[in-house]
Each structure stands twice: as structure tokens, then as C-alpha cells.
Structure 1
Amino acid sequence: MGFKTIIKLMDIKTLVAGLVPVILGSVYSKYAFGKLNALYVILLAIAMILIQSATNMINDYFDYKRGADSNKSGHEKALVSGETTSKQVLLIIVLYQFIALMIGIFLASQTSYYILLVAVIGGLISILYAFGPLPISYTPFGEIISGVTMGIGITTTVIYIQSGIINLNTILVAIPTALFIGTILLTNNLSDMKEDREAGRKTLPIIIGRKNAEKLWIIGVIMLLVLTFCLVLMRIYPVVVLAPVVLIYPFKLIRSFLSYEKSISTKGRSMGLIGQIGLKYHLSVTIGLLIAIIF
């Protein structure tokens, strides 16, 4: 199994969902509480890449075992193409989870063992997402659960690791990130509607229909801006955040999203769009917070 196969298994286009809570949480901790540990940022980023990658592999592994990926191209799924075996995937999952666990134990030893409880809950959810009599991925609740778990759970935990503080403000800061992560999954499920329906899934786009799912996508990306204005009005974010958000936010990508049919063949384009939106949004907020920290 080569490097390209490992990259395909990791599904790197989804890794932004694990990195943005680390970056935002760390910078907000510095802005709000004056605390930021650079080593913790690096370790958290590595752990989140490993955890997100392992979660993607767990999902692919169980889908492959059920035959749910049999109608997807080998270009997208390494197990379908025969580039790797299920045993090899399991080995990588265990290795990635073990390294992430070691990082978690170290961070807990330096801060609080509350972190390990969060890690255990997150690990159980990642398994239940793909495993069990009714996996979360087969229901219309995946967007909500992934958003709350990764967006709110990880962001607030990162802030807690950096500052030792968790309060209402740290939860409110995490809501736009939760919305973004939920929209990533919505984008994925929109692209996979045909294949998911054949596999017996009842994802949110299947339940509400393609047009309504696309409208929900638009609402989700616009709400990133609305929630940012709300956070400024509540004085949780400094007003200077608005300038980079308005200047950097990729408004044109919203129009681009509506210009083509969503399917498995355009999935890369769709995931690229939501990835760019989320990355540029969080980058702009981070820039605004850094300006406030400096001045």
C-alpha cells in the first residue's frame, strides 16, 4: 500500500473540519484569556488530523463490509479499487487512534483529565457513525451530530486546553464552526444521494429532497456571516473581525455551488467549494482576532 492510497483513505479534503476548531479555539483563547501554548496547537492539530482520518476510514471500512460502496468508483474508494485490504485499513485505524490517544494522555497530564472523557465520547460517536444496527450515517441526524461533536465539542475543548476556561462565550464562539462542519457533511450527502438511496440510507438530503438540501446549504454558509455579526454585537468578538470577514469571504462560491448538478462525479468540486468557504471564513476570523490581539 503506497502513500497515495493512504492519502485516499484519509480523505484529505475533509481534514479542514478537524483543523479549524484547533486554530480558532487556540487564537480565541489568546484573545479572550491571554493564553496560548504553541506546542499544544501543534499536538492538537496532529491529533485532529489522525482522528478525522481514522473516522473516515472507519466509515469506509464498514460501508465496504456492508457492500454500500460497491457502486462507487475505485477512484474515490481505495477498498473498492483493491488498492488495500480491510486488514490493512484496520491496522492504520488502530495506529492513528493510538497515536492520537498518546497525544491526548500527554495533554491531559498537562491540563485536565476531563479531556480524556471528551476523547472517549468522541471516539464512541465516530464508531457509532458507521457501526451498529442503525449507524448515524444511515439517518438524517449526521449533520447535527457531527456539527455538535466536532464544532462545539472540539472547539470548546481546545479553548479549555489552552486556557483552562469553559463558559457560555466559548460555546457561542464554537457555533459557526459547528454549522460549517455540519454543512461539510451535507455537501457530502448531497453528492452521494443516488448511491446512498440504493444503499438504504435515509440521509438528510434524501429525506428533504435535493432542492431543499441545496437551500439548506445556502442558508448554512450565509449564517456563518450572520452569526459572526451576532458575536460582535454580543462583544464576544472584537468589531475588527468584521473587516477581514467581509473582505475575504468567498461570496462568488455560493453562486458557483448553484451552477451545476450535484452527483458523485462532481463531489470533488462540491467538497472543494465548502472547504474553501470554511477555510477562508475561519482564516478571516483568525486574522481579525490576531489584529485585536496585536493592537
Structure 2
Amino acid sequence: MTLYQFARIVELRTKIVSISSLTLGILAALASSGRFFPGRTGVMIVAVLAVDMGTTAFNTFFDYWTGVDRQQTNREADKVLVHQRVAPGIALIVAVVLYGVAIILGLFLAVLVHPLIAPAGALCLAVGFFYNGGPHPISRTPWGEFFAGGFLGWFLLCLTIFVHNGAIAPGELLLGIPSGLFIASILTVNNTCDIAGDTLAGRRTLSIITGRRVGESLVYIQGFLAYASLFTLGAAGFLHGGAQVTAPLFLVLSLPLYLAMHRQGFSHETKSSSMQRISAAFLLFSVSMALPLGLAVLERGPWAGLL
């Protein structure tokens, strides 16, 4: 296995999602406590990336093993098990090793910070595995968007706050909602483009059940709701009021990306460009939430009187 093949098995380019939730969670924790713990934060970043990459490696293995990724329907060169004949067992070994690393680091954080981190981490590992594996994988059901957005967005952001501060306020539990909605829309783009291949593989994703037209509409609805909830959190005082400016501003900035996706349509042939555009839109969204969180952090520092 080459470094290139490893990067494709774990799909390194998709880790912007977990990096975004980690970054927003750290900023939210700093905004509420004003303290930074580089040691525990660094350990958590490595643990989360290990879980994320391990989950993707499991997905790579099971998609090949169950026939979701096949040469007849797949045109993605990055699928190295399909197009470069990489042994599927390698992807499985990579996934198991990364999960092992995550378990060790998670137990260390549980001892260092709080015992509740251990069951929370175990839940993440279980969802990550059963998202792709087991007799009834979550990814083959209409619940994929709910679990992807719920865990990579809402749960991860809240867990980051908890690990950093050792506690989390009730109002902070709302901060992960915008990210969860947007991350769900990324999966909706993926599943809507993959309707043909997923149908052949016997999947029953939300896009398949509702139809291509509804799936396309969900992409726009989820993105709008992410920005709307961000604006609402700022207006309600759960987030710095700057969110009332950044939410509509960055929504407008992301419109050309959505229009381009709409013009080209959602199919396997357009999947690569569609995923690039929704990823770019996600980066814009992440910045729109990071800015008000960053302002809240600055207002807690010794320079607060200058702002």
C-alpha cells in the first residue's frame, strides 16, 4: 500500500468536516471558559481523526465487499480498491489499527478529564462501525444523514467543548445544530449523485426513497436551515451577535456554488464537481460560524476593553 492509496482509503480530503467541528468546538470552549488546554486538545484532535479515518476505511472496505463500489457504476479514480486492485483486507487492517489508536487515546482522556468521555467515545466508535458494517448498516437506510450530521456535527462539537472544559452548559448544546444540518447536506449530495449505484446495491438511502428531485431540494433546504439556525443562535444570545451578520453574508457568498450544482444536476458523472462545490460551501459556512465564536473569545481576553 502506497501513501497515495492510504490517503484514498481513509479519504483524507473529507476530514475538513471533523476538523471544522473540532475547531468550532475549541473556539466555543474558549469563549465560555477563557482557558486553553493544549495537551488534552491535541490528544482529542488525534483521537477524532483516528476515528474519522478508521470509519472511512471501514466504509471503503464494506462498500467494496458488498458491491456498492463496482467498476460498472463507479467512475471515481480515488476508489483504489476498485480501480487499482488494492486488496480489501488492507482497508480493513487500516480501519482496525486506527480504531485501536482512538480507543487508547480516548481512555487516556477519560482518565485525564472525565470518566464520561469513555462511553461517549465508545458510542462514536460503535456508530462509526455500524454506519457501514453489521447486518443492517446505517448507510444503507434513510437515517444516514441524521447520524452523519448528528455525530460529525452536533455530537463532536459538543464533545469537544466537554473535553476541553470538563463540562458543558445547556445552552452550548445548541451550538452544534448548524454544523449538523450542513454536514447532513454533504451526505445528501453524495447520496443523490449515487442513486444509480446505490439502487443496484440494494441501498435504501433517503435520496432513493424520496426520489432524485426531493434529494436535490433537500441539499438546498438543509444548507438554508444551517444558516438560519446560526442566525437564530446569534439573535437569541446563545452565540455572539456577529452571527446575525456572518450568517446572511456567507449564505449569499455560497449561492454561486449552489447555482452551479443545480445547473449541472446530481448524478454519478457530476459527483466529483458536486462534492467539491458542497465542500467549498461547507468551508464558507465554517468561517461564518468561526468568526462570531472568535469574537466571543477575543471579548474574554485581556484586550476585551479595546473591542
> TM-score surpassing 0.5?
yes
> Residues 105-151 of structure 1, C-alpha deviation per residue, up to 9 Å, x if partnerless?
22222201211101111111111111222211111111012211222
Secondary structure of the corresponding residue to residue 133 of structure 1: coil
For 2:179, the aligned partner's letter is T
Q: Which residue, 287, 292, 295 being the options, matches 1:283? A: 287
Shift of 1:260: 0.5
Aligned match for 2:161, one of 150, 159, 162: 159
Contact residue 15 and residue 52 of structure 2 kept, 8 A: yes
Distance 1:263 1:59 in 2: 21
Q: Which residue of 2 aligns with 1:274?
A: 278
Select 1:253's aligned residue among 235, 254, 257. Answer: 257
**Residue 267 (structure 2) aligns with:** 263
RMSD: 1.7
Deviation of 1:83 (Å): 4.2
The 5 A counterparts of 1:168-183 are 168-183=170-185
Comparing 149-158 and 64-73, the one that deviates more: 64-73
Distance 1:260 1:2, change over 3 A: same
Farther off after superposition, 159-168 or 42-51: 42-51
1:28-50 deviation per Cα after TM superposition (whole angstroms, max 9, x unaligned): 11112323323333333322222
Aligned to 2:147: 145
In the alignment, which residue of structure 2 is the partner of 1:187? 189
Alpha-carbon offset, residue 103 of structure 1: 2.1
Q: Distance in 1 between matches of 2:56 and 2:270?
A: 19
Moved more, 72-81 or 148-157: 72-81
**Letter matched to residue 90 of structure 1:** L
SS at match of 1:251: helix
Letter in structure 2 aligned against 1:14: T
User: Which has the higher mean CA deviation after the structures are superposed, 139-148 or 61-70?
Assistant: 61-70
Determine helix, strand or coil for the equivalent of 1:68. coil
Contact 1:22–1:41, Cα closer than 8 Å, also in 2 = no
How far apart in 2 are the matches of 1:161 and 1:241? 25
Q: Unaligned regions of 5+ residues in structure 1, if any? A: none
Give, as a single letter, the amino acid of the residue that structure 1 aligns with 2:115: Y
Question: 2: distance between equivalents of 1:184 and 1:209?
Answer: 17
Match of 2:126 in 1: 124
In the alignment, the residues of structure 2 paired with residue 107 and residue 133 of structure 1 have an alpha-carbon distance, to the nearest angstrom, of: 32
1:226 equivalent in structure 2: 228
- Counterpart of 1:59, as a letter, is N
C-alpha contact 1:5 1:83 (8 A) present in aligned 2: no
Conservation of the 8 A alpha-carbon contact between 1:13 and 1:271? no
| Cross-structure match for 1:93 | 95
SS at match of 1:57: helix
Q: 1:134 aligns with which of 133, 136, 140?
A: 136
State the percentage of identical aligned residues.
26
**TM-score of the two chains, using structure 1 as the length reference:** 0.94
Q: State yes or no: 1:18 paired with 2:18.
A: yes
Q: Aligned AA for 2:286?
A: H
Q: Name the amino acid aligned to 1:276.
A: A
3-state secondary structure, aligned to 1:252: helix
Partners of 1:189 and 1:196 lie apart in 2 by 8
Count of residue pairs brought into register by the alignment: 295
Who is 2:302 aligned against? none
Task: Note the alpha carbon deviations across 1:170-218, whole angstroms, 9 max, x for none.
Answer: 2210111111221121111011111001111111111111111111110
Change (3 A) 1:172 1:54: same
**1-side partners of 2:45 and 2:270: how far apart?**
29
- The 3-state SS of whatever aligns with 2:263 is coil
Partner of 2:7: 7
Aligned 8 A contact 1:13 1:272 in 2: no
Is the Cα–Cα contact under 8 Å of residues 23 and 41 in structure 1 kept in the other structure? no
1:78 aligns with 2:80: yes
Aligned partner of residue 258 in structure 1, secondary structure: helix
**Structure 2: which 5+ residue stretches go unaligned?**
299-306
| Moved beyond 6 Å, runs of 4+ | none
Alignment-mate amino acid for residue 141 of structure 1:
W
Question: Equivalents in 1 of 2:95, 2:134: separation in Å?
Answer: 18
TM-score scaled to structure 2, two decimals? 0.90
